[in-house]
Amino acid sequence: MTQAKTTQSGKPASADAHAYHLGVAEAGKCCALRGDHDEALRHYREAIKLAVSARAPEVFFRHYSQCVLESLELTGSYQDVLDYCKKADEYYQSLRQEPGNQRQLHARDHGSILERQGLIYAKLGDRNAAFASLEKARQIAGQNTLGLTEKVIGWLQRGLHPDPARLTDAQRKHHYFSVRTDQVDARRARPLPAATNAGPTSHRTRSSLL
């Protein structure tokens, strides 16, 4: 494993620090693609800590958080995802209320959060909550902006009851998941040393990743 270069203070140099948290996250994505989401979550958590320590731009934290949510969703940790979406929804609503805020910059992100929330509700079989979240996502992001939202709203309006497998298939077709084979570069991956407490990630650990 390639180590990041350090300064005299023992901390990674700025450019190397960013390369390192990117590499750790990339290793997590490789784990996720193999279906080892517990190990993926461990890497994403470390990448978030490293990015915060390196004072990386917020875009990195947001991307790594999205990776966390994807692994949580794919392992059925739906309540953890819903809890995050609720907090994120409240955060974006507060931004919309600020005078002079450039709302369009946040509209798609906010809509995507509500889309994720709606899809989780749909997977849980709560059609009313799913429709409400997806309709709100459409209103905020703009009609026909979120293709998957439009598709699932159409299913629900026709009285269909899509099961989790069908919803996940639609998510993949619409590139809902950012961790995809064509988007991961294994050559940049920097795996962490093996965990000393080997074993499945506890529910408490998972829910505290964000």
Question: What residues does each domain of the chain span?
Answer: 12-75+191-210, 76-162
pLDDT tens sequence across 171-182: 999 999 999 999
Q: What is the mean pLDDT of residues 48-70?
A: 93
d(CA 9, CA 79) in angstroms, rounded, equals 42
Q: Mean pLDDT check: name the lowest of 9-13, 38-42, 76-80.
A: 9-13
Task: Return the residue matching tokens 């909550």.
Answer: 129
Among residues 28, 70, 59, which one has the least CA distance to residue 46?
28
Q: What is the mean pLDDT of residues 170-195?
A: 94
Residue 95 clears pLDDT 70, i.e. is over it: yes
Cβ proximity of 69 and 44 under 8 Å: no
What is the overall mean pLDDT for the chain? Answer: 87
Local confidence band at 99 (pLDDT 50, 70, 90 cut-offs): low
Among residues 165, 182, 100, 170, which one has the least CA distance to residue 134?
170
Residue 202 clears pLDDT 50, i.e. is over it: no
Residue 130 clears pLDDT 70, i.e. is over it: yes
Residue 167 clears pLDDT 50, i.e. is over it: yes
Q: Looking at residue 195, what is its pLDDT? A: 80
Helix runs in 97-145, H state only: 104-123, 127-141
d(CA 76, CA 164) in angstroms, rounded, equals 10
Local confidence band at 97 (pLDDT 50, 70, 90 cut-offs): low
Q: What is the mean pLDDT of residues 66-79?
A: 96
Residue 24 clears pLDDT 60, i.e. is over it: yes
